[in-house]
Amino acid sequence: MAKPRKIPQRMCVGCREMKNKKELIRIVRTPDGEIEMDLTGKKAGRGAYICASTKCLAEATRGKRLQKALEHEIAPEVLETIKQKISEPVS
């Protein structure tokens, strides 16, 4: 009998809850220092995971947890772009 596959878990840097990797959004710092959303989960670079809620994003940026996780400062316009993409309804 085949063993069920283990579902990868990641911690949201906002609410600090462990969730299935597929439920979270990956924010990545690319090798050239760009901060962007990684919807594929496969981009090269240092990643941090966050729930798809503006509350978790606010929590992650207030305590500078997202910046620490990515080991890089995040420009306000980049945060605003991420916030807009999170608050858009999924189509």
Q: Is residue 69 part of a domain?
A: yes
Q: The pTM is what? A: 0.87
Is 76 a domain residue? yes
Total number of domains constituting the chain:
1
Summarize pLDDT for 55-67 with one digit per residue, the tens. Answer: 999 999 998 999 9
Output phi, psi for 61, to 5 deg: -85, -30
3-7, 27-31, 34-38, 44-48 — which is least confidently predicted? 3-7
pLDDT given for residue 91 in this prediction: 46
Structural domain span for residue 18: 9-86
DSSP-H helix ranges across 1-91: 54-62, 65-70, 76-87
Beta carbons within 10 angstroms of residue 40's beta carbon: 8
Reported as a single tens digit per residue, the pLDDT across 7-18 is 899 999 999 999
Q: Classify residue 71 by its DSSP letter.
A: T
Task: Identify whether 51 is part of a domain.
Answer: yes
Q: What pLDDT band is residue 5 in, cutting at 50, 70 and 90? A: confident
What is the CATH classification number for the domain harbouring 25? Answer: 3.30.1230.10
